[in-house]
Amino acid sequence: MGLLDGLGRHLGGVLAPLFDDAVLHRVGPDGVADTPVRARIEGARDATEEPGLPGRLVRAIVLTPGPPPNPDDEITLAGIRHRIVAVETDPAASHALIQGRPL
């Protein structure tokens, strides 16, 4: 058992009140499964410099009670559904930094 085992769960529980409700739409072999998560939008910027990908790029922190999201998944933040285009995870597995584009 490593030092970081279970640490992510505890950190997520402490930080959860600071985050908003969100829904992670996980793509799996049986279709899409909706998972409630806690998330917070950190920023947004125009991303028109990337050809073929219109719109804004949103950066958010997502508390991950299970496996982290992946770029096949989508997330609904503040009532807007986003396609996840990049995911970074922390070593303790308490959260993931994602980038998404509004659908």
DSSP of 12-47, one letter per residue?
HHHHGGGSEEEEEEEEETTEEEEEEEEEEEEEEEE-
**Model confidence at 6: pLDDT above 60:** no
Q: Which among 28, 25, 103, 7 has a CA at the least distance from the CA of 62?
A: 25
**Residue 8 pLDDT class (50, 70, 90 cuts):** low
Which pLDDT does position 16 carry in this prediction?
58
More confident residue, 81 or 8: 81
Which pLDDT does position 68 carry in this prediction?
86
pLDDT digits (tens, 9 = 90+) for 46-74: 766 555 556 788 999 998 777 889 998 99
Q: Residue 84 in contact with residue 70, Cβ under 8 Å?
A: yes
Number of neighbouring beta carbons within 10 Å of residue 27: 15
Which pLDDT does position 52 carry in this prediction?
58
User: Interior CA angle at 76 toward 72 and 82, to 5°?
Assistant: 50
Provide the mean pLDDT of the chain. Answer: 80
More confident residue, 20 or 53: 20
User: Whole-prediction pTM value?
Assistant: 0.75
